[in-house]
Amino acid sequence: MDTATKLDILARDAQYDLSCACSTKRPQEHRKRTDSGSWLYPVTVASGGSGIMLKTLLSNSCTNDCKYCPLREDTDTRRTSLKPEELASFFMEFQSKRRLIGLFLSSGVIGSADYTMDRLIATAEILRKQYRYRGYIHMKIIPGASTDAIDKALSLSSAVSLNIETPGASHFAKLSESKHYDTDIIGGIKYLSAMTAKGSPFAKVTKTSQFIVGASDETDKEILNYTWAMYRKLGYNRLYYSAYQSGLGDPRIPGEQLGLQATPVTQASLFPEIRTAAGNPQILMREHRLYQADYLYRQYGFTFNDLLFDQTGNLDLSSDPKLLWARHHPEFFPVSISKASKEDLLKVPGIGPILANRIVTYRKNTPIGSLENLKMPRYLLEKAREYLVR
């Protein structure tokens, strides 16, 4: 195959890793399979930048046995690989024609974790040293990689990710026998935390991780408990949630049907009992609620103890977790829009960080005569009205 044909295959297979968010509000900006954009993704990176990124695997061959993954060792799928110099050369040529935010570099496991890391690192080294590229490189850390390999990756990367996959070894054991949760994954996640902490050698490197939602029998409560610890104790910058979807583990289904913009589907779990145990047949809505709860952590000052779960340990699919909190805490409301702190305003349904800042700034010089003075979008005003007083 020529390089372009390889990239068509490898970039398609890179879609399953969200540790660099593929995010855009406008549907026309979603990833397109066209001659000019076959391997490009609109992205918002964990550090806040946004733009177009080349996102690909170095190889879609893999010795692992992850049951949710269409690239696992025992599947019959079209395999191919790029050489480090091949990918680096293509990226720089493409970069000269169209400005890219950077490169998301990942791979299936080629033989061993450290051999795979060696290939990823070699690609980044060619870019950094031969081509003098100073832009954004997000490198995937392969589970089981040695600390030496991780250190080298950190020295070359703007961001790194090591996917946690499940909240706990018991859930993970149902998905893979070739990887060891405590050593290959948790050990690496903690090592990344230590090496990128404030004052550490690679403090400027962003670190992210990802959960596979619904492939095992985990609950939302377990996921969000781990998430809270990874933000508060380990200093992770972003966490992502990838819904296990019908067909995701079936290589016979064309890649186009497995895109990130798939329509809601009924969960086809590896474990049939999860449909009842998790109380959540709408897997994409479950993913959405997890992101909402995650955003409450990062932007609204909520804690794990503020979240409300049902008897099965899951978030309510029918209600925004912030709105649910407000309905369960009538003693907190109404909030005075003229006097409340920013932290209290953020507890009000319909008020986010931007609007809370606008309210605090506005009232410093101008009395708030009525809620309409704030010029809030009408749908947000109606949502917030019952929880506010002047």
In angstroms, rounded to a whole number, what is the distance separating the alpha carbons of residues 13 and 283? 21
In angstroms, rounded to a whole number, what is the distance separating the alpha carbons of residues 159 and 46? 8
What's the sign of the alpha-carbon dihedral 304, 308, 312, 318? Answer: negative
* Nearest alpha carbon to residue 162 among 136, 135, 190: 190
In angstroms, rounded to a whole number, what is the distance separating the alpha carbons of residues 192 and 91? 27
pLDDT in tens, 178-222: 899 999 999 999 999 999 999 999 999 999 999 999 888 999 999
What's the sign of the alpha-carbon dihedral 87, 92, 93, 98? Answer: positive
Rounded to a whole number of angstroms, the CA Rg of the chain reads 22
In angstroms, rounded to a whole number, what is the distance separating the alpha carbons of residues 210 and 162? 8
- Two tokens at 281? 């047949």
pLDDT higher than 80, residue 269: no
Q: Of 46-55, 106-115, 151-160, 230-239, give the lowest mean pLDDT range.
A: 46-55
Q: Which residues contact 167 (CB under 8 A, 6 or more apart)?
A: 211, 218, 222, 223, 225, 226
pTM for the whole thing?
A: 0.84
Q: Which residues contact 223 (CB under 8 A, 6 or more apart)?
A: 167, 211, 213, 241, 290
pLDDT of residue 152: 98
Hey, what domains does the chain have and what are their CATH numbers? Answer: 3-257 (3.20.20.70), 332-389 (1.10.150.320)
